[in-house]
Amino acid sequence: MCLAIGLMAWLAMTALFDPTANAWAPKCLLHAATGLQCPSCGFQRAAHALLHGRFVEAWNYNWFLFLVLPYVAALVVGECLPGGPWRERIRAFTHHRYVLYAYLTLYFLWGILRNIWGI
């Protein structure tokens, strides 16, 4: 339940405040220090654009958001469902080590590729 409440709070803040226009939005230290894009660069701007229905803009900020959304949705559903077989199935998927390894691998691969491709 805490995950869902935290996510809702973050979504509300991200929807209400444009990260490109507010100084409070966290800035990427890797990008500031090196000029390189980390895998999460643009994630908050992408989420803001997505919450306002601007899918292309969100895609251009960070492709990985679209890959991680189904996983985050499954995490929240797995946390919020009352006990039962569906909850256990969803949690078995989201907490499976191969799923976590796959997402971590894709996350770092995305970080490398976006700097090679310049996106």
Site for Zn ion, residues 9 to 28, rule: CB under 5 A = 28
> Nearest distance from residue 27's CB to Zn ion, in Å?
8
Q: Choose between 8 and 67: whose C-beta lies nearer to Zn ion.
A: 67
CA distances from 50 to 18, 27, 43, 74, 89 (A): 12, 19, 10, 18, 29
Residue 38 touches Zn ion, criterion: CB under 5 A = yes
Interface stretch with Zn ion, choices 9-17, 33-41, 84-92, 97-105 (CB under 5 A): 33-41
| Closest distance of CB 40 from Zn ion, Å | 5
Candidates 88, 89, 94, 115; CA nearest to 3 is: 94
* Rounded (10°) CA dihedral 4, 23, 28, 95: 0
Which residues lie near Zn ion (CB under 5 A)? 28, 31, 38, 41
